[in-house]
Amino acid sequence: MPPDAVSNQQFDAWYSTHNDWLQGWLRRRLGDHATAADLAHDTFLRVWVKSQSNKPPEVNEPRAYLTTIAKRLMINYYERQSLERAFMVTLEQLPEPLVPSIEEQVIVLETLHELDVLLAELPSRVRSAFLMSQLEGVTYEEIAARLHVNVRTVTRYMAQGFRQCLRLMLASD
């Protein structure tokens, strides 16, 4: 089969042919019916967004293409779950005046998720240094002492952190 750009018609055809199959594929991996249906929906949504871009992807093998996207979404889903768990655990430990209101919690969680995506690919030491500075306002000297590196390395970590976040924020799709 020759490679094809995804057209609107083709999108419809893919959806009716592969949706059930993709849901089954996800269900076997996640063990959860509702989540599988959600992620299958999100997968097709991404395919649709891609197909509307100036440069729609060329696809040889629809099912391989779909599962590649679905895998990425599955990882995001697990990361999101681990983020939400950490969030709930931390909320319980916070002294009462620091606990955000219910409305704020929704916004805080969304902010955390957005930042989490940006920071995900950083090496853990770089991420820790970056967060100490951005969240706690710790000086580079103190970060250097905590991580047992010199201040120049901390400056490098910081630049790396900013670079990574800005790249993802500004990436043209």
Question: Rule CB under 8 A: which of 13-32 touch another protein?
Answer: none
Query: Residue 45, CB half-sphere, CA atoms under 13 Å: how many?
Result: 7
49 three-state secondary structure: helix
38 three-state secondary structure: helix
Question: Rule CB under 8 A: which of 35-94 touch another protein?
Answer: 46, 49-50, 53-55, 57, 68-69, 71-72, 75-76, 78-79, 82-83, 86-87, 89-91, 93-94
Nearer to another protein, 36 or 65 (CB): 65
Joined tokens for residue 82: 């681990």
Stretch that binds another protein, among 2-10, 13-21, 27-35, 135-143 (CB under 8 A): 135-143
**β-bridge mates for residue 23, sequence order:** none
Q: Is 169 in the site for another protein (CB under 8 A)?
A: yes
| Kind and range of the H or E run holding 68 | helix 62-93
